[in-house]
Amino acid sequence: MLTRIVFLLLCFIPLNIWAIHDPKTTGAQALGMGNIGVVGTHFNAVFNNQAALAYFTNIAAGINYDQGFFTDKSLSTKSGAFILPTGSGTFGVHLSYFGHQNYNEQKVAIAYGKALGKRLAIGVELDYFRSFIGGDYGSADAVSFEIALYSKLSESLELGAHIINPIGAKIGHQNPENIPIAFQFGLLYHIDHKLRLATEVEKILDQKANYKFGLEYQIVEQFVFRAGVATQPTLFTFGFGLKLKDFYFDMGTGFHQTLGFTPRVSLLYIIK
């Protein structure tokens, strides 16, 4: 009975705030800046824009924890990734897990980013999705892909674009559910070496466009502050990043007027 109640509740939660199978930025850094993920050449590009991986030059591993808008911690999302630069491009692998033993969603992906010169890079990702519901429901899986573009238009301006599930893959057999098709486009502007401004438009097919705005300010070399806003749903965000030698710790939180705060933390280790 509990499993069925949880499943019914999830069906009525807005798609863009919970499910792994729905487009969702990953990482506390993104959330702190208004949930902007399509621009920036940092570690979480492995989740959010595979083309930007081409500009990430270190072997690295990281984990993320996202509580979402749930009070039940068992409905959080955990994710991890590993990045390996090579002479022919940068490879990444990541996995995510949402839910608990009676209801969960999983995603496993292999990503690749390749620079086509100094100013342009392309990226692709192969995705495997799996959903599980306890009791008599069982599990279902699906395969899809993502494509991405990243351009350093100048020393101060960067552009990112990302398409998720362009083939419109569905998950399930008897009553298949759509995995949303999504388009993301963003700009990142470096005002100077300390202050960055970013904006992103995210359009999930059959939903209103989500407009996002964010900033990041480096107070000292080891500490940065972030803030942002998004429109679908209306979300005010802030966060910070802390550098401790080869470790990076990020925390971000968003405030929804009805659902309250949603915390997200990330830990990254870079092997130089």
Confidence of residue 11 (pLDDT cuts 50, 70, 90): very low
- Whole-number pLDDT of residue 79: 96
- Whole-number pLDDT of residue 7: 42
Q: What is the per-residue pLDDT across 76-127, written as a single tens digit (0 to 9) for each?
A: 899 999 999 999 999 999 999 998 888 899 999 999 999 998 899 999 999 9
What value does the mean pLDDT of the chain take? 89
- Whole-number pLDDT of residue 125: 98
- Whole-number pLDDT of residue 255: 87
Q: What is the per-residue pLDDT across 117-176, written as a single tens digit (0 to 9) for each?
A: 889 999 999 999 999 988 767 789 999 999 999 999 999 999 999 999 999 999 987 778
Q: What is the 3-state secondary structure (H, E, C) of the chain?
A: CHHHHHHHHHHCCCHHHCCCCCCCCCCHHHHHCCCCCCCCCCCCHHHHCHHHHHHCCCEEEEEEEECCCCCCHHHCEEEEEEEEEECCEEEEEEEEEEECCCEEEEEEEEEEEEECCCCEEEEEEEEEEEEEECCCCEEEEEEEEEEEEEEECCCCEEEEEEEECCCCCEECCCCCEECCCEEEEEEEEECCCCEEEEEEEEEECCCCCEEEEEEEEEEECCEEEEEEEEECCEEEEEEEEEEECCEEEEEEEEEECCCEEEEEEEEEEEEC
Please check the confidence at residue 14 and state whether its pLDDT lies above 50.
no
- Whole-number pLDDT of residue 22: 63
Indicate the pTM of the whole model: 0.88
Query: What are the chain's domains?
Result: 2-9+19-271 (2.40.160.60)
Q: Please count the residues of the chain.
A: 272
Please check the confidence at residue 4 and state whether its pLDDT lies above 50.
no
